Structure 1
Amino acid sequence: MQPVATTARKKKKQPLRFTATCGFGLEPLVSEEIVQCGGEALATHPGAVSWSGGLETGYRACLWSRFASRILLELTRFDAPTTDALYAQASTILWDDHFTWKSTFAVHTTLVNAAINHSQFASLRVKDAIVDQFRKRFGKRPDVDPLHPDLRFHLHVQGTGAALSLDLSGDSLHRRGYRVDSGEAPLKETLAAAIVRLSGWLDRAGDEPVLLDPMCGSGTLLIEAALMLSDSAPGLLRKTFGFMAWNKHDPQLWDRLVQEAVDRESRGMPAVWPQFIGYDADPKVVAAARKNVIAAGLREVVDIKQRQLARLNSPAPAGCLLTNPPYGERLSEKEAVKYLYRCLGRTFRDQFAGWTLAFFTANPDLAEMTGMQWQERHRLFNGPLKCQLLTGRENTLQEQAIHRWTPASLPAGTPGEDFANRLIKNCEPLLRWAQEEQITCFRVYDADMPEYNLAVDLYEEWVHVQEYAPPASVDPAKAEQRFAQALQVIRAVFDAPRSRLFIKTRKKQKGAQQYQKKEGGGTLHEVREGGCRFLVNFTDYLDTGLFLDHRLTRERLGVLAQGKTFLNLFAYTGTATVYAAMGGATSTTTVDISDAYIARARANLALNGFGGPQHQLVEADCLEWLQRARERYGLIFIDPPTFSNSRHRKLLFDIQKDHPTLLRLAMQRLAKDGLLLFSNNFRKFVLEESLGRDFEVREISDETIPFDFQRNRRIHRCWEFRHRP
């Protein structure tokens, strides 16, 4: 009887199971990549995409995935209701199939609604199982290195189900290998690549041959865009992956895939590159971005320069402005960021007609400040922060035309007719002058008639009325009656609705009263002056935040600031600083004791497109700050209050008594060939004679009184100080 012939059947090789982890919102992009890598039977979960395939698909994902964080190769799947079960199941794996006792390793655990409630203890139990098995079988054990292990293992427990995987990527895949330096809170490369992809620019690059990031930080958006456009594998620059220390690593397969990627990159290089342009206000950040560009091999492709948003202009008729501006996580920063967004929207409207704006932000509500009509919104996460990528082309925020006032006469016999006639008489030359000079905020009445003891200022379409407190000799009831009559006249003459008329009573403030907020809604209105923008508050404080009588002084500072370092003491809302920055100051330092004023100064700078380390804002008592300051400045402006009593620090300041000390300290901070402007509005002020002997002093008060204050030339006095040769 002949033996029956048998043939050994080859056992069909089971496909491997992989998982790519990613940031929330990136799952669709990662799924597309996995399909391109040859993955099958895809399953998508929050923050992860799993698939089946051969080892090649895992290697391809490590090399080519732009959006995934890690690529995990599943080793086993089991029930793990307790940590003892974890230990038992982990002990069933032959760990020396994967690495030797000479290698270091680490275990990381994630728990999702798990019966096990301590991730570190779960990791410890798996680590114990691995170490105990090596010690039992070989008498030696591998070491744990939580920071830089040769191999990483990942335990994922959801409910009572557990999956134990080998991390093929090693370091997170966002570490491409080109970031040698970074600024504060850099954008991860994986998220940056997603922003570029979702912006749609890659599909429009032929029609939009410029990609510009005006707040580029470490340059990640631009670098990722250039690598994507040239079909460069994001993993090519990495020196190591987690699988390289794995016993089952297939180096021949990996080398073939790397060579394939190199060939694809050679074929994918554009014949003509688009322009990649990045700007940032911080010179240190610019230097870091340039290093990253060089490390990415894009020195000739991506151009990074230092530039403020205020200096931004369009380099071409069409392109995409893609940016990840500051988020403003602290309250004081958030207010400034709001106005930075408004500045960006205004600049986009004025300078970038025909362009696309792609705007990534954690503050989508504040993004409405840009005035853009967004066509697309993509919800993403930057770490734990909920963010949106907004894209659009139309800017619906139209520049408001300068309001033109047309005062109207009152019928004869109307109560307050004499006051109305004076208002109209004042307005005739003032309105003509304001239109010729393009001035939108100015004074039209300042107690010209003793019985109407008030000031009337026009701020674009708003009317701001300040009642001066009547002297004790005047009957309060009669004064109140006259003021009510004056308000009726003002409303009638200017045809001003109540919503645009703001009223305050001005009297000498004592002690802490000068810092107290008045009752009001706190709304900030934007006004224009001399090419600058300022935020004014008509309700909360006696002063609006913009001293109209200093208009010429601010203009003077703007001209003088070109190429100089600028110091603004008792800076109030920083309006002089804005003029200096706009005029070309190389740096500015703004000092005031009030946190509210410093916050407004920061917002005013942002509204005009200025920020970064060149524009320092310091909350401090000016005299104390001067005593410890060491830097010298080419231009200094000092406009102190007549009297100041800090309720927080119990500091007193009296202009007449303290001005010699103040000015001598300030002159120590003035450069040898510098200029100091000193101003105050104390009508009885007398400059100490010794200052004129020690320094070159020239009074310029007449040169700094604007046309609308000629009727009250004592509104302030101003001097120039220089060092004697």
Structure 2
Amino acid sequence: MASRAAELYLTATTQFGLEELLAEELRQLGATDLQVGTRVVEFKGNKQLLYEAVLWCRTAVRIMLPFASFAAPDERSLYREVSRIDWSQYLRPDQTFAITAVTNRSNLEHSLYIAQLSKDAIVDQFRARTGQRPSVDPVKPDVRLHLHLFENEAILSLDAVGESLHRRGYRQLTNEAPMNEVLAAGLILLSGWDGRRPLIDPMCGSGTILCEAAMIAQRIAPGLYHQGDFAFQHWPDFEQALWDSVLMDAKQARLEEPQAYLAGSDLSAETLERARQNVAAADLEDYIRLAVRDVRDAQPPKTEEPGIVLMNPPYGERIGAEAEMAGLYKTIGDTLKTNFQGYDAYIFTGNAEAAKSVGLRTSRRIPLYNGPIECRLLKYELYRGTRKGPKEE
């Protein structure tokens, strides 16, 4: 494994559409040789940068350390090549491990079987060399491995994270269709919000967008909310002193004085209570204002300069909800035109048809996904004193 100064080749994964944001986050941390792909960013950095990336990247889902690559056109070659790796460098017999596999355009097509075969090769090596074998724990393993098989070329990686980074740990309760934290942070960063101007979410649901905005404004590292250890803390070359130093720097970076006006509202008192509990769990009550309110009554603060409105309205996936959704999106458009002149508004939606009822011209349309649902982040510039007609579709 690596010394503190050794250069590491690392991989960070993210959601579709957030790759350039993640690359910029890594660049600001000091990563070099960045290569941006679909849902992935490859980069170089030392061990300190790895620790900082796990702690600070708002748009990363996983960060991995690839350590072996080989051709695996069939079962025999896969087992043989995995057996050739000295697994004592990465795993102890008293530790638990799990391996997940993804295959694409390869002779070996069944990912579960590939993972099982690789697991057997690892266990057989330990049993032959030491008489002991590490146990498999698919839920909370000490060491998590990923095997990616593409066109019969295999890459084995150590997962530095463990539980996905989108699970920050502050969300106690969510509504029925929650937006994950990585996507919420991504929407805020895509808007270009500066962390100073007002940010209003008039359909805030369980409050994820507002929590992520507060963390950005107050310079709070999202990894500080992580429950339990990160996976790299179980690696043989883990340096506790370095990790303690990185953690201390992150804790000291937090700004206590509120940096921006952040406000959210929702029509449902029950939903808003969930948001309150999440905000409290994240220790962000000093930075976020919440109120039960219909979207048509949403208002900007009177004294602040114009900021942004960012919302994720329902998509209306129920059968027969088309008219209801058209009415809701028309109400949203009317509210933006009337109450938020001078603001930039962003609507994140998976219902392109309903979005036509907003009645405002979009200045940007960014393709994204919310889980399996294809969505768009729509930007509207709400100029003072002008009413733009509906966009020609």
**TM-score under structure 1 length normalisation:** 0.50
Q: Residue 336 of structure 1: CA displacement?
A: 1.9
Q: Secondary structure at the match of 1:106?
A: strand
* Structure 2: unaligned runs, 5 residues or longer: none
What is the DSSP-based 3-state SS (H/G/I as helix, E as strand, rest coil) of the residue aligned with 2:135?
A: coil
CA–CA distance in structure 1, aligned partners of residues 33 and 296 of structure 2: 52
Alignment pair present for 1:147 and 2:126: no
Distance in 2, Cα, partners of 1:187 & 1:231: 21
- Aligned counterpart, 2:268: 282
Aligned to 2:203: 215
Counterparts of 2:75 and 2:268, CA distance in 1? 50
Secondary structure, aligned partner of 1:389: strand
Q: Deviations over 1:582-618 (max 9, x none)?
A: xxxxxxxxxxxxxxxxxxxxxxxxxxxxxxxxxxxxx
Task: Work out whether residues 343 and 370 of structure 1, in 8 Å CA contact, stay in contact via their aligned partners in 2.
Answer: yes
Residues 187-198 of structure 1: pairs in structure 2 closer than 5 A: 187-198=179-190
Rounded Cα–Cα distance in structure 1 between residues aligned with 2:86 and 2:135: 17
1:571-590 equivalent positions in 2, closer than 5 A: none
Percent of counterpart pairs with the same letter?
39
Alignment correspondent of 2:310: 322
Q: Which of 104, 114, 118 is the matching residue for 1:112?
A: 104
Whole-Å Cα distance in 2 between the matches of residues 227 and 30 of structure 1?
Answer: 16
RMSD of aligned C-alpha atoms?
A: 2.0
Rounded to whole Å, the distance in 2 between the matches of 1:176 and 1:18 is 22
Q: What corresponds to 1:245 in structure 2?
A: 234
Q: Is the 8 A contact 1:58 1:73 kept in 2?
A: no
Alignment partner of 1:39 is 2:24: no
Give 1:272 deviation, angstroms.
Answer: 4.6
Q: Which residue pairs with 1:127 in the alignment?
A: 119
* Other structure's SS at 2:61 match: strand
How far apart, CA to CA, are the structure 2 residues paired with 1:264 and 1:349? 38
Residue 447 of structure 1 is matched in structure 2 by none
**2:28 partner amino acid:** Q
In structure 1, what is the equivalent of residue 292 of structure 2? Answer: 306
1:263 to 252, 265, 285: 252
Kept after mapping to 2: 8 A contact 1:328/1:335: no
What does residue 273 of structure 1 align with?
Answer: 259
Of 275, 278, 292, the match for 2:278: 292
One-letter amino acid of the counterpart of residue 87, structure 1: Y
Q: Which residue number in structure 1 is paired with residue 148 of structure 2? A: 156
For 1:375 and 1:385, the matched residues in 2 are separated by 22
Partner of residue 361 from structure 1, selected from 349, 371, 380:
349
* CA-CA distance at 1:112 after TM superposition: 2.5
Q: 1:18 aligns with which of 10, 13, 24?
A: 10
Confirm or deny that 1:352 pairs with 2:344.
no
- Is 1:83–2:72 an aligned residue pair? no
Gapped regions of structure 1 (runs ≥ 5): 1-10, 399-725
Query: Which deviates the most, 346-355 or 162-171?
Result: 346-355
Matches of 1:256 and 1:86 in 2, distance apart?
40
Match of residue 365 from structure 2: 377
**SS in structure 1 of the partner of residue 194 of structure 2:** helix
Which of 49, 68, 72 aligns to 2:64? It is 72
Q: Which amino acid aligns with 2:277?
A: K
Code of the residue aligned with 2:292 in structure 1: it is: Q
**Aligned equivalents of 1:146 and 1:361: distance in 2?**
34
Q: Distance in 1 between matches of 2:186 and 2:360?
A: 22
Residues 179-217 of structure 1, C-alpha deviation per residue, up to 9 Å, x if partnerless? 1221112111111001001112226x3xx4x21111111
8 Å CA contact retained: 2:297, 2:335: no
Q: Does 2:173 match 1:181?
A: yes
Q: Aligned equivalents of 1:80 and 1:176: distance in 2?
A: 36
**How far did 1:125 drift?**
1.0
Deviations 1:307-349 (A, max 9, x none): 2224333443633211011112233234422221111101112
| Paired residue secondary structure (1:68) | coil
The higher-RCO structure (CA 8 Å, 6+ apart) is 2
SS across alignment from 2:286: coil
**Are the equivalent residues in 2 in contact too, given 1:16–1:74 (CA < 8 A)?**
no
CA distance in 2, matches of 1:48, 1:316: 42
After superposition, what is the alpha-carbon deviation per residue over 1:10-29, rounded to whole angstroms, capped at 9, x for unaligned?
x9x86321110111111111
Letter aligned with residue 338 of structure 2: D
1:199 aligns with 2:191: yes
User: Structure 1 CA distance, aligned partners of 2:67 and 2:86?
Assistant: 10
Structure 2: how far apart are the matches of 1:36 and 1:169? 20
Rounded to whole Å, the distance in 2 between the matches of 1:213 and 1:274 is 14
User: Residue type matched to 1:31 in 2?
Assistant: A
Shift of 1:263: 2.0
State TM-score, norm by structure 2.
0.91
Could you tell me whether the CA contact under 8 Å between 2:200 and 2:308 is conserved in 1?
yes
Q: Which amino acid in 1 is paired with 2:235? A: W
1:397 is displaced (CA, Å) by: 4.7
- Counterpart position of 1:4: none
Contact 1:97 1:248 in 2 (8 A): no
The one-letter code sitting in structure 2 at the alignment partner of 1:302 is I
Q: Distance in 2 between matches of 1:69 and 1:386?
A: 19
* Preserved CA contact (<8 Å) 2:258 2:287: no
Q: Deviations over 1:383-442 (max 9, x none)?
A: 2222111112235259xxxxxxxxxxxxxxxxxxxxxxxxxxxxxxxxxxxxxxxxxxxx
Q: 1:273 to 1:53 in 2, by over 3 A?
A: closer
Q: C-alpha deviations, 1:263-286, integer Å up to 9, x for none?
A: 222xx44x4532211112233321
How far apart are the structure 1 equivalents of 2:118 and 2:49?
Answer: 27
Map 1:501-650 onto structure 2 (within 5 A): none
What is residue 161 of structure 2 aligned with on the other side? 169
| Residues 97 and 247, structure 1, Cα contact 8 Å, conserved in 2 | yes
Structure 2 distance, partners of 1:328, 1:113, is 36
Contact 1:105–1:151 at 8 Å: present in 2 too? Answer: yes
Aligned residues: 380
Among 116, 130, 135, the residue aligned to 1:138? 130
Q: Distance in 2 between matches of 1:334 and 1:37?
A: 45
Distance 1:220 1:283 in 2: 16
Instruction: Report the Cα distance in structure 1 between the residues aligned to 2:337 and 2:6, rounded to whole angstroms.
Output: 58
Aligned 8 A contact 2:200 2:300 in 1: no
Residues 217 and 260, structure 2, Cα contact 8 Å, conserved in 1:
no
